[in-house]
Amino acid sequence: MFSFHRSAAAHVTFHNSGGKLSARAALPPRAHLLNLIQAIQMAYLIIEKIDDFKQTIRGRNPVLAYFFKPSCGFCKQLEPKISTVSETTSGVEFVKINVENGGGEIAREFEVQAVPTVIGFRNGDPVDMVVGNADQDVIQTLVSKLSQK
């Protein structure tokens, strides 16, 4: 199961069953199709299973993986910075991993020892890592590094 999420605007869950991809959207009552389209365009992927994560980082686009815990204050401060960078970036997938909810195995596999941690991947390999509540320009620099061929 893949889940796209964008703030409180929308939550779209994609289910892969038997090779078919279906989507379910939960939107505020008065939301329109445009809201859904905007939410998907500015979305990040929430991954909970290590096999899904490995498949994603080996994809054709570079990946910025954000490891967090919902109770982490620094994570709550960093997330809007990452979100802002994602809104102005194309060609990089933004992935969110909750280390307390299914993402612990992914965190252990990639030796994430503190949250928040942001790791950039290209062709399945880590390119760079930022640990802690970084400034937005640090996140932008990491994304720029990922965009370079």
- Catalytic sites, residue numbers: 72, 75
Distances (CA, A) of 14 to 1, 3, 36, 64, 93: 6, 6, 14, 20, 16
Q: Which of 48, 142, 43 is nearest to 102 (CA)?
A: 48
Give the whole-angstrom CA distance, residue 33 versus residue 37: 6
Distances (CA, A) of 9 to 30, 32, 36, 50: 11, 11, 8, 27
The answer to whether 56 touches 44, Cβ cutoff 8 Å, is no
